[in-house]
Chains A and B, each alone.
Chain A
Amino acid sequence: DGGITQSPKYLFRKEGQNVTLSCEQNLNHDAMYWYRQDPGQGLRLIYYSQIVNDFQKGDIAEGYSVSREKKESFPLTVTSAQKNPTAFYLCASSTQSKETQYFGPGTRLLVL
């Protein structure tokens, strides 16, 4: 999991602003995932992508958008439509043939 990086570590968002969280992996993994973590609620899936140029909504996709133009990168945009964005955001990746997901260090998003 050392091959997955997320930036920034902390991010501040103003009202009405879109912000983008970065996730990069050098593990040659095909699949990538975005999770949101709130206290007492575990991890919830926002979006996932099994292959370049393809992605699917998870359980809580509203107010978020993603792209997968490169195998190594899966950025997440938190749009102004997401009314409660304060959370810890975790990116993960896995190969197609194995189920194990490896997590990045996370980005903590705070609203000003």
Chain B
Amino acid sequence: GENVEQHPSTLSVQEGDSAVIKCTYSDSASNYFPWYKQELGKRPQLIIDIRSNVGEKKDQRIAVTLNKTAKHFSLHITETQPEDSAVYFCAIRGAGGGNKLTFGTGTQLKVEL
């Protein structure tokens, strides 16, 4: 099945700094790459996604970049704020049947004042 590795597992930044989380995958036919944010005890919420025909997508302070050749994609958060503190998950959708997502193991982001 599909496999996705996410790094780092924890990330601590100062408020205002940038944060970058990277995911690598093995299935070159993967075609959809969402990022979810999960606050403690809450449901995961989609924050941005990208499809395989696009290299970069931005939404205000959040951006995702995709390198299909190297099979990795990254989440970039600029001007971090305390409310960005949460666990972030990447996911991939393989080329197999259905809309199955395979998730990374998550990154605990802590934005310090």
Contacts and interface: CB of A to CB of B under 8 A. Distances in A.
Interface of A: 1, 31, 35, 40-45, 48, 50, 56, 58-59, 90, 94, 96, 99-106
Interface string B32-71: 1010000000111110010000000000000000000000
A44 to B, nearest CB: 7
Given A41-B105, A100-B34, A1 B99 contact: no
Given A42-B103, A48-B100, A99 B89 contact: no
Contacts, number: 58
Given A103-B43, A106-B43, A43 B89 contact: yes
Interface of B: 1, 6, 9, 32, 34, 42-46, 49, 89, 91, 93, 98-106
A1 B43 CA distance: 9
A1 B103 contact: no
A100 B46 contact: yes
